[in-house]
Amino acid sequence: MLKNILLVGLGGAAGSMLRYAFSVWFKHASFPLATFLVNIIGSFVIGAVFAYALRSEQFANNWRLFLAAGICGGFTTFSAFSLESLAMLQQQRIGMFVLYVGGSILLGLTATWLGYSLVK
């Protein structure tokens, strides 16, 4: 258990530092390019990691924890959201998919506005 926590923590630290680097590299863009790129790249990486894990029994659980939960989790939580959404579509749980995606966007924006409004 401790080993798993350390793998996720080390990967998360690396992912967070990489995310910060993106924000520095693209800080002058008029469009939120850093966040946009982080979300797309993170979604691609987590999809590739899970596809490879399904294909290869040799792909150790340690690497999945480090890469998916750790690096992708620190880089962006949008990647996990994307993977969970894709799983719902693959399982043909369309109603749950619409509720999850729509609810996440609507409630996420609402919660951000509410938190901002209460503290402002």
Question: pLDDT tens digits for the chain (120 residues)?
Answer: 999 999 999 999 999 999 999 999 999 988 888 988 998 998 898 888 888 888 887 788 889 899 999 999 999 878 888 988 999 999 999 999 999 999 999 998 998 889 888 888
pLDDT of residue 12: 96
The number of folded domains in the chain is 1
Q: Which residues are annotated binding-site positions?
A: 73, 76
**Sequence-distant (≥ 6) Cβ neighbours of residue 32 within 8 angstroms:** none
Domain boundaries, position 66:
2-119
Q: Which residues are annotated binding-site positions for Na(+)?
A: 73, 76
Backbone angles phi, psi at 26, to 5 degrees: -115, 25
pLDDT of residue 86: 93
With the CA atoms of 39, 85, 104 and 68 taken in that order, what torsion angle do they form, in degrees rounded to the nearest 10? -50
pTM: 0.75
